[in-house]
Amino acid sequence: MNLNQSAPPVPPFGQPQPAYLGHHQSSYGGQPGSTTAPTSYGAYNGPVPGYQQTPPPGVSRAPPSSGAPPASTAQGPCGQTAYGQFGQGDVQNGPSSTVQMQRLPGYQPFGSAVLAPVVSQPAVLQPYGPPPTSAQVTAQLAGMQISGAVAPASPPSGLGYGPPTSLASASGSFPNSGLYGSYPQGQAPPLGQAQGHPGAQPPQRSVPPQASSFTPPASGGPRMPSMTGPLLPGQSFGGPPVSQPNHVSSPAPQVLPPGTQMTGPPGPPPPPMHSSQQPGYQLQQNGSYGPTRGPQSNYGSPYPGAAAFGSQPGPPQPLPPKRLDPDAIPSPIQVIEDDRNNRGSEPFVTGVRGQVPPLVTTNFLVKDQGNASPRYIRCTSYNIPCTSDMAKQAQVPLAAVIKPLARLPPEEASPYVVDHGESGPLRCNRCKAYMCPFMQFVEGGRRFQCCFCSCINDVPPQYFQHLDHTGKRVDAYDRPELSLGSYEFLATVDYCKNNKFPSPPAFIFMIDVSYNAIRSGLVRLLCEELKSLLDFLPREGGAEESAVRVGFVTYNKVLHFYNVKSSLAQPQMMVVSDVGDMFVPLLDGFLVNVNESQAVITSLLDQIPEMFADTRETETVFAPVIQAGMEALKAAECAGKLFLFHTSLPIAEAPGKLKNRDDRKLINTDKEKTLFQPQTGAYQTLAKECVAQGCCVDLFLFPNQYVDVATLSVVPQLTGGSVYKYACFQVENDQERFLSDLRRDVQKVVGFDAVMRVRTSTGIRAVDFFGAFYMSNTTDVELAGLDGDKTVTVEFKHDDRLNEESGALLQCALLYTSCAGQRRLRIHNLALNCCTQLADLYRNCETDTLINYMAKFAYRGVLNSPVKTVRDTLITQCAQILACYRKNCASPSSAGQLILPECMKLLPVYLNCVLKSDVLQPGAEVTTDDRAYVRQLVTSMDVAETNVFFYPRLLPLTKSPIENTTEPPAVRASDERLSNGDIYLLENGLNLFLWVGASVQQGVVQSLFGVSSFSQITSGLSVLPVLDNLLSKKVRGLIDSLRAQRSRYMKLIVVKQEDKLETLFKHFLVEDKSLSGGASYVDFLCHMHKEIRQLLS
């Protein structure tokens, strides 16, 4: 089980690695040509050094590794060595294959070794200590392997096998391991490391490549075995844990390159390494594992646990706490940092087909040169298998995450609007695809061939233009639709409902005025806010005044409509009690222009809180409210959006009445899915009507208890709306969050009454869609409303062969009504490569997007299947993907090695996060409503949001110098990375925690909280005091900037170490084992390895 991403050895691998390094492009170039070994190597070496360089401390390792590879006979050896190193860490197929093969034997031995009781470990460690050098990597591997291989094989055998390969890999690390070994024994050192690490780690990062840890350099075959032994003990022992934390910290630093080249570096620099080289540590651990058979046995036990993962509800795994050095396994932080460093600096130019864009976590500019920006479309893979057989084999879902109205940074221009006048946009006669840069003009420009269906169409005379010598239209660069990936057409009347140009949309505010809403102060707050907020309705372009009209409704058991016509002296209230058969009581005066009716509206908003101040009405209705809003829009013949502010379960006698069906006993039963399903079909029917009318529903919930989010969110979900939930809303605590969300929601640009259609080249077609929308047929995504945050994930399947030459094209066309009432078509085009080699597929994958798809797939799955089944499906699919890679792309190696494709090395950790999420594995404190809420939230998240949602960002605040104004580098989300002398921020897009270590310097406490000691800090504090000092300003500034990055306001919660709130916080440390039974990263990786091995055997 080599964990790491594909390693450098094999040419293909080589490529991936370089990629990480940032070199990739060049390296890729070289690698493809792998034939030229030297160059490629050079490249590799190059990168490697690079890696090493970063981690000066690690240098020692690096040298060895780097040195080693070269030393090892030309390429061949290198490859092996590399593999050895990478073996675990790097998936790199090419090299790995061979190397792995070799290693495998070595690993297997470990497996056998496992038998030895843990107890032995300590002893072993010491002995190993010496040998360990090579072992490290293997150790990790071993861990992995162990899980996979229960084989009783005797250690010796392992030795025998391993010596060559395993040794090689391990060797590099060994030194470290040895050191480590010592650490464990001497606890003091570890501690020192631990502390030191935080600081030290960063620098090291470069060094650490996880991959390396996995596959130790080829140094000594024998070492490997020994290594393993020692490592294990280390972990298992009390001592080791300490060291681990250190390690942990260190690994983070290693992050990037390490994976690939790790192998090289790790080995050599033993002693010095400690602090610097986390990889080394890992190795050690590994080594320890190996040696101590004990560990193996542990593994064995762990596996059972691992097996449990799939089903895993709660039972903690029997496994010993840690088997693998967390630093040795692929680190998201490292990957993110690498990508940021390597790709953040240059703009991403979309001209080339099938380019993998930078990660979502990287800040980069996009230059549209014919393909849609990744801000609009991201794919799971930018290289699609030509045949469905290949696709099936790989099991890699082919999906695109599309955000048609994505907001762009100010530096990037929004899509040009093309007006073709009366004739409307030019389209293919057969498949109706819109004119795009991929259309081929033929016959001197008189005709064009559709790039999607190959139909030859005439070019209308007014559109005719001559071609240049390359067959390109002369005016190609004058026309956005011929040169850009994204652009808009003005739609003609044919594209409008009832063949009438739409009227400007309307916003209707529908406010619950039952007892709860009044008492919590919500109504007063909201009315007050609306008075000013209404001046900021979305407007198009530079329009002076928003075209959006507004209307007001309040309700409890009955509905109150308000006539706010500008000619009235005071508003008129119209009560509709016939909730069973809702209708709109007035037409004129309900929807008004804000400016014209300013006075009346203000008067109304003043009076609403007064009118209901004494209400005793506790019952509410819900469906009739939506119905009313929809009818109002229908009567006004416009599309629009309803803003619903609702507090309680609608139990009043009316359609859509709900009962409290919250039942935690259903969790982990076959009936669990009912918790996610709506109680009644009435809401689907209602939603359908809403969609037909272009009525989008945004729901703000303020529940004090169960409100059945699963049912209430049906309409927002199907109409492209959003749901916001503020449990136990109190004005003092939640006002800022609510108002901020509200402002943003009201002001954001929205498209209404939209239809989205995704067209593809012949060969594949869109078969499945995920997101907040409604579909009445199998191809058209209907969205009553669509804003810049909403994302639709589309899955493609083959229905024919694709052609490598022509690639695969996607065209996403969105027909919508802008907020000024203009009917438009937004077109996004994207060209992808096609491949006949699986390796190409794996090399061009995007793990974040993959996770986005898989999460949405799973979250939809829970509606129909037991959660356990869904989890198992996910794990199986992931295992299949990796197994396929291993089988077809990775170089032969020991089955005990976990080899991950470079592009997917984070797949296990991310997948584990998905599996541990509240929806799939709820903790005791997670309510049914929370789960339903999260479920529907994720459904329309984009890649960046899912990325941080599943793997929260943990930012140390006090590690970097105060003067440093840039965002501090993140650390891995694990308890082990927290130092009690520091303060951390954790955010996942919905929550924001400020964790304060118990032994934080008093000065820091004082300057941040304005109190003199840790104990005086109020736990659960949600606002930091405004203090005039650098640290306070910096932290508050950082919090603000984090909030600005997310589509929803994150409420801050200050958590003190050892405080009871800490449990809540720890829930987000996703690399750790969770209280609800979620596996730790390491455990999960082992489990995954076992699954893969099962598939392979």
Partner 1 sequence: MATYLEFIQQNEERDGVRFSWNVWPSSRLEATRMVVPLACILTPLKERPDLPPVQYEPVLCSRPTCKAILNPLCQVDYRAKLWACNFCFQRNQFPPAYAGISEVNQPAELMPQFSTVEYVIQRGAQSPLIFLYVVDTCLEEDDLQALKESLQMSLSLLPPDAMVGLITFGRMVQVHELSCEGISKSYVFRGTKDLTAKQIQDMLGLTKPAMPVHPAHPAQPQEHPSISSRFLQPIHKIDMNLTDLLGELQRDPWPVPQGKRPLRSTGVALSIAVGLLEGTFPNTGARIMLFVGGPPTQGPGMVVGDELKVPIRSWHDIEKDNARFMKKATKHYEMLANRAAANGHCVDIYACALDQTGLLEMKCCTNLTGGHMVMGDSFNTSLFKQTFQRIFSKDFNGNFRMAFGATLEVKTSRELKVAGAIGPCVSLNVKGPCVSENELGVGGTSQWKICGLDPTSTLGIYFEVVNQHNAPIPQGGRGAIQFVTHYQHSSTQRRIRATTIARNWADAQSQLKHIEAAFDQEAAAVLMARLGVFRAESEEGPDVLRWLDRQLIRLCQKFGQYTKEDPSSFRLSDSFSLYPQFMFHLRRSPFLQVFNNSPDESSYYRHHFARQDLTQSLIMIQPILYSYSFHGPPESKR
Q: Tell me, what amino acid is at 315?
A: P
Nearer to partner 1, 258 or 624 (CB): 624
Largest interatomic CA distance in the chain? 96
Decide: is 561 part of the binding site for partner 1 (CB under 8 A): yes
**Three-state DSSP state, 909:** helix
Give bridge partners of residue 87 from the DSSP assignment: none
Q: How far apart are CA 421 and CA 291, in angstroms?
A: 77
The least distance separating partner 1 from the CB of residue 612, rounded to whole angstroms, comes to 10
Helix 847-861 to helix 907-916 angle (10° resolution) is 30
Instruction: Report if residue 615 touches partner 1, rule: CB under 8 A.
Output: yes
Which one, 604 or 919, has the nearer CB to partner 1?
Answer: 604
Of the candidate spans 276-284, 564-572, 1028-1036, 1047-1055, the one that interacts with partner 1 by CB under 8 A turns out to be: 564-572
Distance, in Å, from the CA atom of 764 to the CA atom of 387, rounded to the nearest integer, reads 9
573 is a contact residue toward partner 1 (CB under 8 A)? yes
Q: Does 614 bind partner 1 (CB under 8 A)?
A: yes
Q: Quick one: CA torsion of 1026, 1030, 1035, 1038, rounded to 10 degrees?
A: 110
Contacting range for partner 1; rule: CB under 8 A; set: 9-17, 18-26, 563-571, 991-999: 563-571
CB of 846 to partner 1, least distance (A): 54
By C-beta, is 558 or 820 nearer to partner 1?
Answer: 558
Options 581, 800, 1040, 1058; binder of partner 1; rule CB under 8 A: 581
- Least spacing, CB of residue 962 vs partner 1, in Å: 54
State yes or no: residue 576 binds partner 1 (CB under 8 A). yes
Q: Of 532, 604, 620, 526, nearest to 571 (Cα)?
A: 604
Say if CB 215 and CB 7 are below 8 A apart.
Answer: yes
Among 123, 453, 490, 574, binds partner 1 (CB under 8 A): 574
Provide, rounded to whole angstroms, the least separation between the CB of residue 635 and partner 1. Answer: 8
Contacts of residue 487, Cβ cutoff 8 Å, sequence gap at least 6: 415, 416, 417, 418, 480, 481, 826, 827
b (16+ CB within 10 A) / e for 1015-1048: eebeeebbebeebeeebbebbbebbeebbeebbb
Which residue is associated with the tokens 């030393």? 71
Contact 591, 534 (CB under 8 A): no
Distance CA 1083, CA 1076 (A): 15
Please select the residue that binds partner 1; options are 616, 665, 732, 805, rule is CB under 8 A: 616
State yes or no: residue 607 binds partner 1 (CB under 8 A): yes
Beta strands 486-490 and 416-418 are parallel
Nearer Cβ to partner 1, position 146 or 506? 506
Angle 302-311/293-300 helices, nearest 10 degrees? 30
State the CB neighbour count (10 A cutoff) for residue 777: 7
Binding mask 204-243 for partner 1 (x = CB under 8 A): ----------------------------------------
β-partners of residue 845 are 381
Smallest distance from partner 1 to CB 498, Å: 15
Task: In angstroms, give the least distance from the CB of 608 to partner 1.
Answer: 9
Task: Establish if 637 lies at the interface with partner 1 (CB under 8 A).
Answer: no
Footprint (CB under 8 A) of partner 1, residues 531-560: 558, 560
Instruction: Considering the complex, state which of residue 603 and residue 668 has its C-beta at the smaller distance from partner 1.
Output: 603
Closer CB to partner 1, residue 388 or residue 593? Answer: 593
980 binds partner 1 (CB under 8 A): no
C-beta of 632: minimal distance to partner 1 in Å? 13
User: Is position 642 an interface residue for partner 1 (rule: CB under 8 A)?
Assistant: no
CB of 503 to partner 1, least distance (A): 14
- Distance set, CA 486 to CA 356, 368, 404, 1053 (Å): 18, 8, 9, 41
- Binding-site size for partner 1 (CB under 8 A) equals 29
Stretch that binds partner 1, among 71-79, 326-334, 503-511, 614-622 (CB under 8 A): 614-622
| Joined tokens for residue 25 | 């492009």
Question: For residue 797, with 0-12 CB atoms within 10 Å meaning exposed, 13-18 middle and 19 or more buried, which class applies?
Answer: middle
Amino acid, res. 256 = L
599 near partner 1, judged by CB under 8 A: no
Closest to partner 1 by CB, 570 vs 705, is: 570
From 605-613, 728-736, 820-828, 948-956, span contacting partner 1 (CB under 8 A):
605-613
Segment lying near partner 1 (by CB under 8 A), choices 333-341, 464-472, 501-509, 578-586: 578-586
Q: Which is nearer to partner 1, 104 or 530 (CB)?
A: 530
Q: Can you tell me the distance from the alpha carbon of 479 to that of 241, in angstroms, rounded to the nearest whole number?
A: 63
How far is it, in rounded angstroms, from Cα 571 to Cα 666?
49
Interface residue with partner 1 among 412, 617, 736, 872 (CB under 8 A) is: 617
Among 490, 611, 692, 749, binds partner 1 (CB under 8 A): 611
Distances (CA, A) of 611 to 515, 523, 614, 615, 872: 12, 11, 8, 8, 55
Taking CB under 8 A as the criterion, the residue among 585, 866, 981, 1020 binding partner 1 is 585
Q: Which of 253, 415, 589, 901 binds partner 1 (CB under 8 A)?
A: 589
Of the pair 411, 614, the CB lying nearest partner 1 is at: 614
Closest separation between CB of residue 610 and partner 1, Å? 8
Q: Which is nearer to partner 1, 635 or 1096 (CB)?
A: 635
Q: Among 439, 604, 723, 1054, which residue interacts with partner 1 (rule: CB under 8 A)?
A: 604
> Which of these ranges, 220-228, 411-419, 585-593, 687-695, lies near partner 1 under the rule CB under 8 A?
585-593
Least distance (Å) between residue 615 CB and partner 1: 7
The CA-to-CA distance between both ends of the chain, in Å, stands at 13
Secondary structure (DSSP) of 799-824: SS---TTT-EEEEEEEEEE-TTS-EE
Query: 885-889 contacts: CB < 8 A, separation 24 or more?
Result: 885/6, 885/91, 885/93, 885/394, 885/838, 885/842, 886/91, 886/1092, 886/1096, 887/1096, 888/93, 888/393, 888/838, 888/839, 889/6, 889/12, 889/93, 889/94, 889/97, 889/838, 889/839, 889/842
| Residue 655 sits in the site that holds partner 1 (CB under 8 A) | no
| Pairwise CA distance, residues 670 & 1052, whole Å | 37
Among 543, 587, 731, 1030, binds partner 1 (CB under 8 A): 587
Q: Which stretch binds partner 1 (CB under 8 A): 203-211, 500-508, 571-579, 916-924?
A: 571-579
Tell which one of 578, 670, 800, 925 touches partner 1 (CB under 8 A): 578
Q: Which of 470, 498, 532, 577 binds partner 1 (CB under 8 A)?
A: 577
DSSP structure string for 817-864? E-TTS-EEEEEEEEEEEEESSHHHHHHTB-HHHHHHHHHHHHHHHTTT
Nearer to partner 1, 494 or 614 (CB): 614
Measured between alpha carbons, how far is 532 from 596 in angstroms, rounded to an integer? 15
* Nearer to partner 1 (CB atom), residue 587 or residue 1030: 587
Nearer to partner 1, 564 or 878 (CB): 564
The CB-of-559 to partner 1 minimum distance in angstroms stands at: 9
Q: Which is nearer to partner 1, 572 or 865 (CB)?
A: 572
Nearer residue to partner 1 within complex by CB, 585 or 981: 585
Judged by the rule CB under 8 A, the positions of this chain that interact with partner 1 are 558, 560-561, 568-578, 581, 583, 585-589, 604, 607, 610-611, 614-617
